[in-house]
Chain A
Amino acid sequence: DQQVKQNSPSLSVQEGRISILNCDYTNSMFDYFLWYKKYPAEGPTFLISISSIKDKNEDGRFTVFLNKSAKHLSLHIVPSQPGDSAVYFCAASLGGGSQGNLIFGKGTKLSVKP
């Protein structure tokens, strides 16, 4: 039973437009959420995170929104660039912040077209 779900396997966006990647979770005890980006043949790299006590965290072009009542988070990339093309994983932690057991979704492949 998947506790972290990314229901869109892929997303295609035009350069300069907004990319919105979605993630749903089932366990209301998750207290920390992270997004990782992965290029082919490389390990995932940390992008941005959010604690369950917040509803928004922003870092440059990347913003993560958390809706606890809906058990939903989203990653917004504005503006999208071709270099953003990668697989994006949503992950959640059950205590321990980013150091605990991270539960990952299946990922969404983002393609940003020039």
Chain B
Amino acid sequence: EAGVAQSPRYKIIEKRQSVAFWCNPISGHATLYWYQQILGQGPKLLIQFQNNGVVDDSQLPKDRFSAERLKGVDSTLKIQPAKLEDSAVYLCASTVVLSSYNEQFFGPGTRLTVL
């Protein structure tokens, strides 16, 4: 089966600009996650969707970050305006909901550099 797809793979912007990332989860996976991984750190959850509803967005900086999953499939994550500290790899993951113990499958990530 095809894996989690993300685009773009790399993005360089200047601070105060806006940027958007796209994620297409594995077909049939109802749960989708966005993680931020800063260099030298582990991934940190930003937001979790179940179908098109938000399950957990407690760690999403809502003053500048937004995410949506309108039809319960693809998702976009937006940063507006970007700050230097937003430089990171943004990972999307998905999982099927058969039990609580199905693994999260990760995409390759989008590496964002804010200058």
A interface residues (Cβ-Cβ under 8 A, vs B): 4, 32, 34, 36, 41-46, 49, 51, 89, 91, 96-102, 104-107
Contact = CB atoms under 8 A, between A and B. Distances in A.
Interface of B: 4, 31, 40-45, 48, 56, 91, 93, 95, 97, 99-109
B91 A43 contact: yes
B93 A98 contact: no
A43 B93 contact: yes
A51 B101 CA distance: 9
Nearest to A43: B106
A44 B108 contact: no
Given A43-B106, A43-B107, A101-B56, A32 B4 contact: no
B104 A98 contact: yes
A36 B10 CA distance: 23
